[in-house]
């Protein structure tokens, strides 16, 4: 029953993709009239790419942002007489990235691609992209910046095969090499009011050199990564320079009560979030800590009392900020202050099906 449902969904997706390609062909026909150089013989023969899952510029939760940004994918073909060699492919329309290459009948292609976030005026960057994207250096900001555009993100696809005779729409599936950290806070039932003044994650490594040592492939039957064949990386952290990420609020932030009607990781409870290079949560002489400064009133007539809570993150799960995962911390301020940490993977969702959501 499950397989039948999956097959129905795939047929629906295929129909949607064909509709997209039909629109693309009509657009291509109009392009031949404006001096683009493409003739009628090329109609429907261009190598087009459709992207699946997690392909966003930075820590942006939904995939619509990639469409808005229209970032290039950089494609490499590992087959004989390759069609692509670290070649930028531009967004075309309707979630399709279209190259200026055409299919060769009978040729088997072995394709993969990467996406590197743009270099912002300030903040993080992706540098030293080598070996067709299989070596990369990711640098995050040296301080917390509130907003998605400051954080460096990098994605590498699995390898996928294609036959030129079939002229397929090549579906790429990407994985992030970054992790995301999010902080959620609420007040407990014994507090009349809680105001957060500052939240600081200390001793964060911001610089990593990463090298792919196992490149995953897609199973042609179900477009899922073959078991045991995920993209796997070595990560060389520069731990000599570690920085605090401190969010100092410019205006009073009164925490919402947690009453169980919403998930504790509901967006309305989120205080801060950022991307980071993958790293372990240190302990020892320079532990990674979360420090929260706040003011509390237990009753309406009380004066505010200042409070500070310091959490040694090595004492809490998880002990690693993992590639391609969101690490979510939840703090509830009540008569005592508690910290909880969980790990979520980014879901991989087709553009045609909807937006990218955490599990």
pLDDT tens-digit profile of 133-176?
Answer: 999 999 999 999 887 778 888 888 889 999 999 999 998 888 88
Q: Which residues are CB-contacts of 97 (< 8 A; sequence separation ≥ 6)?
A: 48, 49, 50, 51, 72, 73, 89, 90, 91
Query: What length is written for the chain?
Result: 359
Distance CA 324, CA 175 (A): 7
Report the chain's mean pLDDT, rounded to a whole number: 77
3-state secondary structure of 23: helix
- CA proximity to 115, closest of 149, 77, 75: 75
Q: Is the dihedral of CA 126, 130, 132, 137 positive or negative?
A: negative
Q: Which helix (H) or strand (E) holds 21?
A: helix 2-31
pLDDT tens figures, 97-127: 899 999 999 999 999 999 887 666 577 888 9
- Here the tokens at position 250 are 């410019």
Architecture per CATH, domain 181-204+240-345, reads as Sandwich (2.60)
CA 356-18-52 angle, to 5 degrees, is: 25
Q: How many other C-beta atoms are found inside a 10 Å radius of the C-beta of residue 31?
A: 13
pLDDT value, residue 10: 45
**Looking at 12-151, which runs of residues are DSSP E strands?**
46-52, 73-77, 87-93, 96-102, 108-116, 125-130, 135-139
CB of 54 within 8 A of CB of 357? Answer: no
CATH 2.40.10 fits 43-177+207-237, yes or no: no
pLDDT value, residue 105: 95
pLDDT value, residue 353: 25
Distance CA 83, CA 106 (A): 14
CB of 216 within 8 A of CB of 272? Answer: no
- CA proximity to 199, closest of 142, 270, 263, 275: 270
pLDDT tens figures, 263-309: 888 989 999 989 899 999 887 677 899 999 999 998 899 899 898 88
CB of 278 within 8 A of CB of 320? Answer: yes
Whether the bond between 318 and the residue before it is cis, its omega within 30 degrees of 0, is yes
pLDDT tens figures, 46-80: 999 987 644 433 434 443 444 456 678 999 999 99
> Where are the chain's structural domains?
1-36, 43-177+207-237, 181-204+240-345
Most confident of 152-166, 217-231, 325-339: 152-166
pLDDT value, residue 43: 52
Same fold across 43-177+207-237 and 181-204+240-345: yes
Phi, psi of 355 (to 5 degrees): -105, 170
Residue 94 Rama label (left phi>0; alpha psi -120 to 50; beta): left
Distance CA 143, CA 181 (A): 14
Q: Which helix (H) or strand (E) holds 355?
A: none
Decide if pLDDT at 318 tops 60.
yes
- CA proximity to 205, closest of 56, 329, 321: 321
């Amino acid at each position: 029953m499950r397989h039948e449902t999956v097959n129905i969904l795939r047929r629906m997706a295929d129909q949607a993709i064909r509709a997209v390609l039909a629109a693309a062909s009509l657009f291509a026909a109009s392009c031949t009239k404006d001096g683009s150089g493409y003739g009628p013989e090329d109609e429907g023969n261009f190598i087009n790419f459709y992207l699946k899952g997690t392909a966003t510029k930075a820590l942006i939760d939904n995939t619509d942002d990639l469409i808005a940004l229209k970032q290039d994918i950089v494609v490499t073909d590992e087959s004989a007489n390759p069609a692509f060699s670290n070649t930028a492919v531009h967004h075309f329309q309707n979630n399709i990235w279209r190259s200026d290459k055409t299919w060769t009948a009978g040729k088997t292609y072995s394709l993969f691609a990467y996406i590197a976030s743009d270099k912002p005026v300030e903040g993080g960057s992706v540098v030293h992209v080598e070996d067709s994207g299989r070596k990369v250096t990711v640098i995050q900001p040296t301080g917390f910046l509130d907003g998605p555009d400051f954080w460096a993100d990098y994605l590498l696809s699995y390898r996928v095969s294609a036959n030129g005779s079939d002229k397929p729409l090549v579906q790429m599936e990407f994985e992030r090499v970054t992790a995301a950290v999010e902080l959620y806070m609420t007040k407990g039932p014994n507090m009349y009011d809680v105001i957060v003044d500052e939240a600081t994650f200390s001793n964060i490594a911001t610089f990593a050199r990463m090298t792919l040592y196992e490149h995953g492939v897609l199973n042609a039957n179900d477009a899922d990564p073959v078991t045991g064949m995920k993209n796997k990386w070595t990560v060389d952290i520069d731990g000599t320079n570690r920085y605090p990420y401190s969010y100092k609020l410019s205006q009073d932030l009164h925490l919402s009560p947690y009453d169980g009607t919403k998930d504790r990781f509901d967006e309305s409870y989120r205080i801060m979030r950022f991307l980071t290079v993958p790293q372990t949560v240190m302990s020892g002489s320079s532990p990674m800590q979360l420090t929260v400064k706040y003011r509390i009133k237990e009753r309406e007539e009380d004066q505010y009392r200042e409070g500070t809570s310091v959490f040694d993150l090595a004492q809490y799960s998880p002990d690693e900020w993992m590639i391609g995962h969101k690490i979510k911390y939840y703090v509830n301020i009540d008569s005592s202050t508690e910290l909880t940490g969980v790990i979520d993977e980014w879901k991989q969702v087709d553009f045609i099906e909807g937006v990218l959501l955490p599990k």
